[in-house]
Structure 1
Amino acid sequence: MKLKSLLCLAAALPLAAWAADPLPAFHGDARQSSVSGLSSGAFMAAQYQVAYSASVVGAGVVAGGPYYCAKGALAGAGPCMNAGQPPAAAQLLKYARQFAAQRQIDPLDQLAQRRVYLFSGSQDNTVKTQVVDEAAEFFRLAGVPAAQIAYQKQLPAGHAQITPAYGNDCSATASPYINHCTWQGQGYDQAGLILKHIYDGLQARSQALTGRIVRFNQKPYAAAGNSLADEGFVYVPRACAEGETCKVHIALHGCQQYAGKVGDAFYAHAGYNNWADSNRILVLYPQTTTSAVNPQGCWDWFGYTGPAYAWKSGLQMRALKAMADRLVSAP
């Protein structure tokens, strides 16, 4: 085929027809990573923080519950959301201590050095406030000092990530599960509050982004059965691209909020990128997809990928860790 014909064919093919690039690597310290998420992403963020507490310095849990809440069973998910009484934090902490003793997760004494932000909207009927209460109690019982736990549950918000201006009305529970809310006369900047609680001394958010969103190939991290999409996204500040030392924040979408369902709503508009831009933070937006055992594209906090799902050896857990470590692996 002649070169001109090849170029014409390339122009005619949709962007999705071309394979995404490998996940890039920048300078940084994997021991300064952090994580946050909404809904299933929030359960996953709490799970990831507990399992990798030796290297993850903080977590944001937006409408999510405590570690191992579902106890490895889909039937256990209901009480951890809106049906019945969730398991007590003290009971779940016993499981975590057992897993730590078996070296399935990091030692729990590391949690005393970590910071956690939690959020429950008062109009959220998908994950009830009593569930988030148990998450707060779990971290307290696990040794996180009260001063290092921030918990907001007074906003009349539905089930959503909260921004100052983007998305649905505050009380809504509707796709793309991003709402704008006002608190004390100002737009509620949840992403900023999460990052400022985890990291001291952040600069003000950038008004105009200088970096770019990079699409990358998730297939090298997608073991069979882990329900990861073929592609993920990462926001790369210009300073990171130019060789400065950067941190990684993993931002986890909720059920029915993956890019294949809502486009760029989460990875472009959840609010993290402007803060990341001025503070040398790489924001990793890994993506799930649907499967027979995961029809809503949720993160695995109840065991659909197997019994090790809440351990460091869990399919999704080790994939997230490998991606986060890769981002700051440049020599």
Structure 2
Amino acid sequence: MAGDMDGEVVKLGAYNVKKGESSVSGLSSGAFMTVQLHLAHSSSFCGAGVIAGGPYRCVEFFRAASAVGEDANELNALHLCMNPLVPQNAPNANRLAELARQTARDGLIDEVTNLAGHRLYIFTGSKDSVVYSSVVARTRDFYHLLGVTTTDIHYDDSVPAGHSIITGNAEDSPLETNQPPYINNGGFIQSHNILQHIYGNLAAPSDRLSGRLMRFDQTEFFGNEPRASMSKYGYAYVPQAVAEGAEARVHIALHGCKQGYNYIDFTFGQSDFASQPPYGNRYITTTGYNSIADSNNIIVLYPQAEGTDDSLTQNPDGCWDWWGYTCADAERPDYYSREAIQIKAIHGMLSRLGG
């Protein structure tokens, strides 16, 4: 496999991609963003994978958390949308499903009727102490309320996993771990299960990759706007057959907090390069997406969020925005809509690829 993790920077290209058959998955903040992107552009997708993520706009379901709306969202994100004191305090799926319908009626996202027939993989580890299973269960309920059938949703809360995407790699963290790099060894490759559920009847993953992992300049998709809190580079895996013109599909894989390629720690608001963890490329290279994509003509797009901690944007852990930190106007948040800076950027990448 040719690779460009640290070499050539290319312009993201166009391929022979099937329209409306793209998909997206993510872990943690990437899972929350998966739901937002899925709802915002449901006409572009046929399915999604949600690992440890809550329902759409969950930070807004309890406005009384603070007199200031921005503060209420942050409090809800930190508590009710991650680790509610009791399961009854988890986000209200009925209320959020109606909020999604209203958002669609307002023309801010695609019609929610598009979700019928989509395939959803939703997972929560029973040992997850970061995003509780009671929250993820509401994500399943939310999609049910918007017309996704029980048959089309694969919901799994049976694995004693911590907060992580699961692999079969012996060098990864023990299954119950709840700490970075949030990649745990559970004896199976979760990314394969996600894509198998969404697409069905996939060929076995490749033992040896044929394609190319490319690094591209993703700033053209968000105008290098600092509040986007996105890295200069993104990554895409393109199988050799797709590069040669074969018909393809696109899967967007969204990392979680502290998992971006150039993630670094912040100490008192300053980049702490001395404590930089050595695992920034593992979500791109070791989670298994590329091997099953290679044998099934699937392009895997890896957009990259970046840690920012300054007067403009407080996102030191490099999370995707699911509570409103990127919004230009805190009184009129748009982080969940087609106009959100991160959603526009990621969908722009998808459109460039042909999806």
Q: Which amino acid aligns with 1:116?
A: L
Q: Displacement of 1:239 after TM fit?
A: 0.8
CA distance in 1, matches of 2:19, 2:326: 25
Q: 1:277 matched to which residue of 2? A: 294
Q: Displacement of 1:44 after TM fit?
A: 0.6
Q: Residue deviations 1:268-321, cap 9 Å, x none?
A: 011111100000000000001111221110001111111111011111111111
* Pair 1:217-2:217 in alignment: yes
Question: Among 98, 102, 105, which residue is 1:101 paired with?
Answer: 105
User: What percent of counterpart residues are identical?
Assistant: 43
* Pair 1:89-2:118 in alignment: no
Work out whether residues 30 and 324 of structure 1, in 8 Å CA contact, stay in contact via their aligned partners in 2. Answer: no
Question: Among 180, 184, 197, which residue is 1:179 paired with?
Answer: 184
* Pair 1:322-2:322 in alignment: no
CA distance in 2, matches of 1:19, 1:97: 44
Work out whether residues 127 and 161 of structure 2, in 8 Å CA contact, stay in contact via their aligned partners in 1. Answer: yes
> 5 Å matches for 1:182-193?
187-193=187-193
Q: Structure 1 length normalisation: TM-score?
A: 0.90
CA distance in 1, matches of 2:231, 2:84: 30
The CA RMSD measured in Å over matched residues stands at 1.5
Q: Residue deviations 1:150-200, cap 9 Å, x none?
A: 01111111100001225111111222111111xxxxx22211110011112
CA distance in 2, matches of 1:42, 1:30: 23
> 5 Å matches for 1:16-165?
20-71=9-60, 73-77=73-77, 78-84=79-85, 85-165=89-169
Moved more, 22-31 or 111-120: 22-31
Work out whether residues 217 and 231 of structure 1, in 8 Å CA contact, stay in contact via their aligned partners in 2. Answer: yes
Q: Structure 2 length normalisation: TM-score?
A: 0.84
The DSSP-based 3-state class of the residue aligned with 1:259 is coil
CA distance in 2, matches of 1:33, 1:83: 33
Moved more, 317-326 or 168-177: 168-177
Q: Residue deviations 1:219-265, cap 9 Å, x none?
A: 10124211110001111111111111111000000001111133211
> 5 Å matches for 1:210-289?
210-223=210-223, 224=225, 225-261=227-263, 262-289=279-306
Count of equivalent residues: 309
Q: 1:184 matched to which residue of 2? A: none
Q: Which amino acid aligns with 1:298?
A: C
Q: 1:7 matched to which residue of 2? A: none
Q: Residue deviations 1:23-62, cap 9 Å, x none?
A: 1221112421100000000011111111211121100000
Q: 1:304 matched to which residue of 2? A: 325
Work out whether residues 116 and 149 of structure 2, in 8 Å CA contact, stay in contact via their aligned partners in 1. Answer: yes
CA distance in 2, matches of 1:61, 1:26: 26
CA distance in 2, matches of 1:203, 1:97: 37
Q: Which amino acid aligns with 2:17?
A: G
Q: Displacement of 1:19 after TM fit?
A: 7.4
CA distance in 1, matches of 2:354, 2:36: 22
Q: Residue deviations 1:54-106, cap 9 Å, x none?
A: 12110000000101111272122021001332221001111111110011011
CA distance in 2, matches of 1:175, 1:189: 18
Work out whether residues 23 and 327 of structure 1, in 8 Å CA contact, stay in contact via their aligned partners in 2. Answer: yes
Q: 2:316 matched to which residue of 1? A: 295
Work out whether residues 17 and 354 of structure 2, in 8 Å CA contact, stay in contact via their aligned partners in 1. Answer: yes
The DSSP-based 3-state class of the residue aligned with 1:147 is coil
Q: Displacement of 1:21 after TM fit?
A: 1.9
> 5 Å matches for 1:202-213?
202-213=202-213
Work out whether residues 42 and 63 of structure 1, in 8 Å CA contact, stay in contact via their aligned partners in 2. Answer: yes
Moved more, 285-294 or 166-175: 166-175
The DSSP-based 3-state class of the residue aligned with 2:100 is helix
Q: Which runs of 4+ in 1 moved over 4 A?
A: none
Q: 2:63 matched to which residue of 1? A: none
The DSSP-based 3-state class of the residue aligned with 1:130 is helix
Q: Which amino acid aligns with 1:191?
A: S
CA distance in 1, matches of 2:221, 2:11: 11
The DSSP-based 3-state class of the residue aligned with 1:113 is coil
CA distance in 1, matches of 2:76, 2:19: 33
List gaps (5 residues or longer) in structure 1: 1-14, 182-186
CA distance in 1, matches of 2:191, 2:8: 30
The DSSP-based 3-state class of the residue aligned with 2:83 is coil
Q: 1:201 matched to which residue of 2? A: 201
CA distance in 2, matches of 1:219, 1:23: 11
Q: 2:173 matched to which residue of 1? A: 168
